[in-house]
Amino acid sequence: MVITMMVLVVNAGSSSLKYQLFDIEHECVVAKGICERIGMDESCIKHKMPERDDYIAEVPMKDHTDAVRVLISTLTSPETGCIADMSEIEAVGHRVVHGGSYFSESVFVTDDVLAKLELCRDLAPLHTGAHLMGIHGCIAAMPGVPQVLVFDTAFHQTMPDYAWMYPIPYELYEKYSIRRYGAHGTSHRFVAGEMCKILGRTEGTKIITCHLGNGSSISAVKDGKVIDTSMGFTPLDGLEMGTRCGSIDPAIVTFIMEHEGYTPSEMSDFMNKECGLLGVSGLSSDCRDLGDAILAGHKRAKLAEDILTYQIKKYIGSYAAAMGGLDAVVFTAGIGENRDEIRAAACEGLEFLGIKIDPVVNEQTHQQSNNVRISTDDSKIPVYVIPTNEEYVIANDTDRIVHSMKK
């Protein structure tokens, strides 16, 4: 028997906590919002519900436990809420960026799971600490409510060894688990699944999924399974990103350290927080700002975007070769769904692969809630913009795992 349940999906940042409350039976979002500036002055909650006015309130939140308590109070309040009490929430699903070699699928939270997640801090330094704060905050504020972790790295565990192994001494892989893990797997999994539905099949499909946002990655998905992905040991690898450098010559790292006097920790911060679109443009990590600057004639903003679109084009070509063909290309996430100029530039010159973009449809496709084909009718390879829905995947994984625990 299918048990109806509400699942709270949480995505914790270092000073924020995004949430969505899902009605699993009806596959709809009942409420969503964000707690911002946690641990700082002027912390607040921004809460949205269908057909209700948005609720914004400044509330002190010294840590993530406080934020979860504010969230619970908002969800259960007669004025702002949508549930009578917390008994209606049967589980919490957490987005986790990196599960290392420990996790190849979503898991129920236990002390052992949390101990292993602590060991993954260095693999995603911008994310894991924040995830742990959110998880511990939920456990403290919601004792007894089942907690589930859904990992961005899990979908990529189907890569063959020659795709995930780096050409370093094998002993170092065995000692430190240094290998390609990938990221954004929950998003790649969702949009690849949607594309398979459009194609009417999973077996025999060769799909390239482009998750482009402040963090970006591209995956080659063959027969519904990942065979390669652009992010690597950490979410620093691959494409140029908002503040991350992506793939660079490794010798550059030691060169800069020697000449600038950086420690390893400082160099890591530099590559994660001062490079990418921000570093090249000298203006911003936000593509919207760069788009405005390009229109005003800013050459470095143009260069920053040109680097990104050139890299996307290279990945599409190389992954088509790796899969021995191509059936579809998907763009998703903040940039992928909303920046038509980047989509057009990335696909320009790929006519030899059978890709032809419809300039009118592409230019009109922004902030769509539905899947949109942006390639021409006679394009041999369909190109789609598919809005990602990582929270939907997390909610359903949480539902599945909690049900399996009850059997």
Positions annotated as catalytic residues are: 152
Residue 114 identity (one-letter amino acid): L
Tokens of 159: 């890569």
Residue 346 identity (one-letter amino acid): A
127-150: b (≥16 Cβ within 10 Å) or e: bbebbbbbbbbbbebbeebbbbbb
Tell me the three state secondary structure of residue 234.
coil
Query: In whole angstroms, how large is the CA radius of gyration of the chain?
Result: 21
Tell me the three state secondary structure of residue 223.
coil
Find out whether 118 and 103 touch, Cβ atoms under 8 Å: no
Residue with tokens 């002993």: 171
Find out whether 8 and 89 touch, Cβ atoms under 8 Å: yes
CA 192 to chain centroid: 14
Cross-strand partners of 92: 8, 147
Phi, psi dihedrals of residue 44, rounded to the nearest 5° = -150, 165
Query: To 5 degrees, how large is the angle CA 316–CA 353–CA 365?
Result: 65
